């Protein structure tokens, strides 16, 4: 499978951001991409650095303007596109939602982000209600897509449940970067931890992982912090965690990566983790903490 990934630096000009994304999608489609993945909340800035009620005006329904616009493009080009949107479900009810557009322009399915962070610079609980659709892969013409979103990528339970439900790929639209007051050593540790944990999901489940982050610097509108320098490093790895592509930190990227979708079957035969799981002994995983 030829997968296209788009790592972009965004501005406050939503129309301009979307225009550049559309151009990148066209370029990747011309190069043979079958599936194209964009970063988390790709239309605009990462607005969760502050808690601002006016930002809710950016939310949109699903179906809505973005699914229509990118749906038309998917149909024109014959590609599957993974969107990441600020969903308005109802008045006062919003989600961080990934939407998969099939190559005929229809909505194949959606996933609402389940794990919602609340940290300095990442005040997502102010904006997003935790997802309620579960960890269900989205069926498409190229396979079952295990779509998760950003903070979800730190939780092995989410990846495992997607795998157990038959996902062929794990996909993580992401927006994460450096806390600029941290030392350079700490920044590097966090970046490598982010990559390592996701490669671990690939290994533990014998599934390819596609992780697409944004790049560039976005200031804190409140001036309370130094803003976020998103660390890029979007990557694709295979079912043994082998790195197939890793983007640079500070550059925009529109890249085609080839994935051998048959390797999951081979890998699970030699590393039968699913066979040897002790499901009779895992009941305590549903507890917050075992005292």
Query: What's the pLDDT at 248?
Result: 98
Query: What's the pLDDT at 199?
Result: 98
Query: What's the pLDDT at 129?
Result: 98
- Tens digits of per-residue pLDDT, 213-251? 999 999 999 988 899 999 999 999 999 999 999 999 999
Please state the CATH superfamily assignment of the domain spanning residues 2-276 in this structure. Answer: Carbon-nitrogen hydrolase (3.60.110.10)
DSSP string, 88-103: EEETTEEEEEEEEEPT
Low-confidence ranges of the chain (pLDDT < 70): none
- Tens digits of per-residue pLDDT, 41-51? 999 999 999 99
Query: What's the pLDDT at 225?
Result: 87
Active site residue 2: no
Angle at which helices 184-205 and 156-164 pack, to 10 degrees? 20
Q: Which of 87, 88, 124, 150 is catalytic?
A: 150
Q: Which residues contact 210 (CB under 8 A, 6 or more apart)?
A: 3, 5, 37, 169, 170, 171, 172, 236, 257
Q: Which of 34, 40, 102, 124 is catalytic?
A: 40
Query: What's the pLDDT at 179?
Result: 85
Instruction: Enter the tokens of residue 222.
Output: 């409140």
Domain regions of the chain by residue span: 2-276
Q: What is the pTM of this model?
A: 0.97
Active site residue 48: no
Q: Which of 113, 218, 237, 255 is catalytic?
A: 113
Active site residue 87: no
């Amino acid at each position: 499978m030829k997968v296209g990934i788009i790592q972009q630096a965004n501005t406050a000009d939503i129309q301009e951001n979307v225009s550049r994304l559309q151009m990148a999608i066209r370029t990747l489609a011309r190069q043979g991409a079958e599936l194209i993945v964009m970063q988390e909340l790709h239309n605009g800035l990462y607005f969760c650095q502050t808690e601002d009620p006016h930002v809710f005006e950016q939310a949109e329904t699903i179906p809505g303007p973005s699914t229509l616009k990118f749906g038309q493009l998917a149909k024109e080009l014959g590609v599957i596109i993974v969107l990441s949107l600020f969903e308005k479900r109802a008045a006062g009810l919003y989600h961080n939602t990934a939407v998969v557009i099939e190559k005929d322009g229809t909505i194949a399915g959606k996933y609402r982000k389940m794990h919602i962070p609340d940290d300095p610079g990442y005040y997502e609980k102010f904006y997003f209600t935790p997802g309620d659709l579960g960890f269900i892969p989205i069926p498409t013409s190229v396979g079952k897509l295990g779509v998760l979103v950003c903070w979800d990528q730190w939780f092995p339970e989410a990846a495992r449940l997607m795998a157990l439900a038959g996902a062929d790929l794990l996909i993580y639209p992401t927006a994460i970067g450096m806390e600029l007051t941290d030392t350079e050593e700490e920044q590097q540790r966090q970046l490598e931890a982010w990559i390592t944990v996701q490669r671990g999901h690939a290994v533990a489940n014998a599934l390819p992982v596609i992780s697409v982050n944004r790049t560039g610097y976005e200031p804190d509108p409140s001036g309370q912090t130094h803003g976020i320098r998103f660390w890029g490093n979007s990557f694709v790895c295979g079912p043994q965690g082998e790195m197939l592509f890793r983007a640079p930190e500070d550059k925009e990227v529109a890249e085609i990566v080839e994935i051998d979708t048959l390797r999951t079957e081979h890998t699970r035969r030699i590393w039968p983790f699913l066979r040897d799981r002790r499901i009779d002994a895992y009941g305590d995983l549903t507890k917050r903490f075992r005292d």
